[in-house]
Amino acid sequence: MSDKRYITSDIAISAYLMLKGLKLLSATKEASGKFRFEFEDSQGVAQGLVVEYISSDFCAFDTHLKNLKKLLY
């Protein structure tokens, strides 16, 4: 088994990676308040999936969700 990992602090990207079948190894909140999500990426596909996410309807949905939250808070 390869020990390749993909790490991000973006919760939307993390959700998309999980949707696409990447295994979440850990999810933590650092002292700075920043999230840290670590995925198993033995096939080296995570970066390509991130690019796919950016041009997807999922990304547009997340943007609209964030904008709606801003209206309420």
Kindly list the structural domains of the chain, giving each domain's residue range(s) and its CATH number in brackets, ordered by start: 5-72 (3.30.70)
Collect all residues with Cβ–Cβ distance below 8 Å to 1 and sequence separation of at least 6. Answer: 42
Name the pLDDT band for 2 (thresholds 50, 70, 90). low
> Residue 35 and residue 56: Cα distance in Å, rounded?
23
How many Cβ atoms sit within 10 Å of the Cβ of residue 52? 14
Mapped onto helix, strand or coil, the DSSP state of residue 5 is: strand
Q: Label residue 1 by pLDDT band (50, 70, 90).
A: low
pTM, 2 dp: 0.88
List phi, psi (to 5°) of 28: -135, 165
- The pLDDT, as a whole number, for residue 72 is 97
